[in-house]
Amino acid sequence: MESTNPPVLQLSHISKTYTNIMANDNISLKLNRGHIHALLGENGAGKSTLVKIIYGLVKPDNGKMIFNEKNYAPENPQAARLAGVGMVFQHFSLFDSLTVAQNILLGLDKAYSYDSLVDQIVQMSKNYGLALNPKMTVGDLSAGERQRIEIVRCLLQNPKLLIMDEPTSVLTPTEIEQLFNTLKQLSLQGTSILYISHKLEEVRRLCNDGTILRDGKVIKNFLPSETTSSEIAELMVGKKIKPTVKQNSHSKEKILDIKNLSVKSQTPFGTNLKNISLEINQGEILGIGGVAGSGQDELLLVLTGETKVEKNTILYKGMDIGHLNPQERRELGLLTAPEERLGHAAAPEMSLIENCLITAKKEKNLVERGWIKFGKTAQFANDIMKTFDVRADNSANLAKTLSGGNLQKFLIGRELSQNPEAIVVNQPTWGVDASAAQFIRQALLDLVSRGTAAIIISQDLDEILEISDRFTALVNGSISTPKVTSKLTVSEIGLMLSTHSTN
């Protein structure tokens, strides 16, 4: 239905070029008053650049914006906020060691007295069902609470347009429901919302209008309620995506056994692991869900061997490995792929060839009497690139020059090519575009069908449900009893994800 009111924001022919990438190519867009408008696209499609232009963080090379029937070209975010544009970032722009109220104060341009601000925050929390305690330190809060801070911060400035960048990627299903209620209430009151997401079902449920970007161009404007998810997905990627194929393996021998594991976090504002017990068998994928900061990083460090643990809490094929370092564990066949690609899984300033040496020097015999066999290593790197469809012109390229998706394919490929007996992957497809994500998931499934045991830690619930055999949730450092994924209902999953969080 075409709105008769003038649009709240109109973009005409916006273009922005970085050194040699056309991030935004002649984008025109119309946002209606009081509508929730979805902005969809793969990583690198130009969504972030576009919203940064609207929020005054990036200046366009060309094009014109009209906001509220006035010409609009914000110098900086302050100017954008003053005009009535608010933004909630995907990676929250918050300060861990400061309180909720201080964080909100920092994002406001008007001078507020601290006490009246505290009152307003409490009032705002009530009006929109955004439970918040202004005196808490942000570092101790959950992702959902942090997001509420960002939203309250925006709402205090009475925005006419609210930009939400991937708001649900860190939330539990219950928190998502709460968020949607808030957003619907806001749109009824006349606030327009630009909603960036790649979760298509959500978009279809929540949004009035939608726009799909690909390679910096507008591919299509669509009505979410009248378009199917697979149609949207095809438009985003530009080709059909094959669904993953799952084969069951038959052997069911226990590989990894974690017993009553409790570990104190090594980082400030980290999560302590509490009494975790898990078993993983050959040929199965155990999916561990949970929102960010529930202890995923700590659990991974324990499994890689970067954090040492007490005796007899981690058994690998019946052998105590709690004291072994990462290299010793790799030699036994237990491999890991951490979430952080640059800096943890790979050395950014080293070539792909050198990065192969980091985890595969023993397993692939890449070093002989202290000498690196570069020819063999390069061959290994090239094989990975071929098998795992890594798009880089040369294996001598530095790791940091690859796109997120390509580097992830390379790193997963590096581990999978060593034929591990057990593998632990944290966030296998984080920040990876849909087709690469599909490829990685299929590669993991293929590996497991040959008898490998896998633990997949992921915040992407859909992903875990798609590939895991058994599912468990990590909440506040504790884990629930794993259940067979195919027999789980949505409400059971929601319950598992929030059980302990209310304590």
In this structure, what DSSP letter does residue 99 have? B
| Residue in 26, 66, 96, 182 binding another protein, rule: CB under 8 A | 96
- Helix %, strand %, coil % for the chain, to 5? 35, 25, 40
| Residue in 106, 131, 223, 358 binding another protein, rule: CB under 8 A | 106
Q: Could you tell me if 426 and 338 are in contact, meaning their C-beta atoms sit under 8 angstroms apart?
A: yes
56 near another protein, judged by CB under 8 A: yes
Q: What is the DSSP secondary-structure string of 333-388?
A: TEEEE-S-TBTTTB-TTSBHHHHHHHHHTTTTT-EETTEE-HHHHHHHHHHHHHHT
| Residue in 5, 62, 78, 394 binding another protein, rule: CB under 8 A | 78
224 near another protein, judged by CB under 8 A: no
Nearer to another protein, 58 or 292 (CB): 58
Tokens of 326: 């990462």
Nearer to another protein, 140 or 393 (CB): 140
* 357 burial via Cβ count (<10 Å: 0-12, 13-18, 19+): buried
180 near another protein, judged by CB under 8 A: no
- To another protein, the closest distance from the beta carbon of 232 in angstroms equals 28
CA dihedral angle for residue 474, residue 479, residue 484, residue 490, rounded to 10 degrees? -50
Strands (E), 396-451: 422-426
- To another protein, the closest distance from the beta carbon of 461 in angstroms equals 27
Amino acid present at 20: N
105 near another protein, judged by CB under 8 A: yes
315 near another protein, judged by CB under 8 A: no
Nearer to another protein, 215 or 389 (CB): 215
Nearer to another protein, 137 or 419 (CB): 137
Short-list 339, 276, 279, 280, CA closest to 310: 276
| Residue in 5, 13, 62, 95 binding another protein, rule: CB under 8 A | 95
| Residue in 22, 57, 73, 219 binding another protein, rule: CB under 8 A | 57
266 near another protein, judged by CB under 8 A: yes
76 near another protein, judged by CB under 8 A: yes
272 near another protein, judged by CB under 8 A: no
Q: Which residues within the stretch 136-175 sit at the binding site for another protein (CB under 8 A)?
A: 139
Number of residues in contact with another protein, rule: CB under 8 A?
A: 28
Stretch that binds another protein, among 55-63, 275-283, 396-404, 484-492 (CB under 8 A): 55-63
58 near another protein, judged by CB under 8 A: yes
| Residue in 46, 107, 134, 477 binding another protein, rule: CB under 8 A | 107
102 near another protein, judged by CB under 8 A: yes
Residue 178 makes CB contacts below 8 A (sequence gap 6+) with 129, 130, 144
- To another protein, the closest distance from the beta carbon of 94 in angstroms equals 6
CA dihedral angle for residue 167, residue 173, residue 178, residue 181, rounded to 10 degrees? 80
- The whole-angstrom separation of Cα 470 and Cα 484 is 4
| Residue in 4, 20, 111, 368 binding another protein, rule: CB under 8 A | 111
- The whole-angstrom separation of Cα 300 and Cα 345 is 12
Nearer to another protein, 106 or 131 (CB): 106
Neighbours of 132 (CB within 10 A): 21
| Residue in 15, 28, 93, 157 binding another protein, rule: CB under 8 A | 93
Integer CA distances (angstroms), 220 to 48, 152, 207, 231, 492, in order? 18, 32, 15, 11, 37
- The whole-angstrom separation of Cα 41 and Cα 25 is 14
Nearer to another protein, 95 or 374 (CB): 95
Stretch that binds another protein, among 84-92, 208-216, 335-343, 434-442 (CB under 8 A): 84-92
Residue 26 makes CB contacts below 8 A (sequence gap 6+) with 13, 14, 15, 62, 63, 217
From residue 11 to residue 50, the character string flagging contacts with another protein as x (rule: CB under 8 A) and all else as - is -------x------------------------------x-
| Residue in 70, 91, 311, 369 binding another protein, rule: CB under 8 A | 91
97 near another protein, judged by CB under 8 A: yes
Task: Estimate to the nearest angstrom the gap between the alpha carbon of 85 and the chain centroid.
Answer: 25
Binding site for another protein (CB under 8 A): 18, 49, 56-58, 76-78, 81, 89, 91-98, 102, 105-107, 111, 139, 266-269
